[in-house]
Structure 1
Amino acid sequence: MRKQKKTPLVGDRVPFEVVVMEYDPVESSEYYTKAKFYKWMGPIWSRQVGSKSIFQDLNDDNEANYLIIFLRLITAGYLKEHSEEYAPFIEDISLSDYCASEIESMWKDADHLAVTGQSIRVQYMDQNAAPNGGLYYDFPPDQKEVPRITLLYRPGHYDLIYRR
Structure 2
Amino acid sequence: MNLIAIRSMNENDPLNISNAFANQGWHKPAELYEKYVNEQAAGLRASLVAETNGQFAGYVNIVWQSDYLYFKERCIPEIQDFNVLIKYRRLGIGTLLMDKAEEIVGKDSELAGIGVGLFSDYGAAQSMYVQRGYIPDGQGIYRNGEYLRYGQQTIVDDDLNLYFVKKL
TM-score in same-fold range (> 0.5): no
Which structure's CA Rg is the greater one?
A: 1
TM-score between the two structures when normalised by the length of structure 2: 0.29
Greater relative CO (CA pairs within 8 A, separation 6+): 2
Structure with greater helix percent: 1
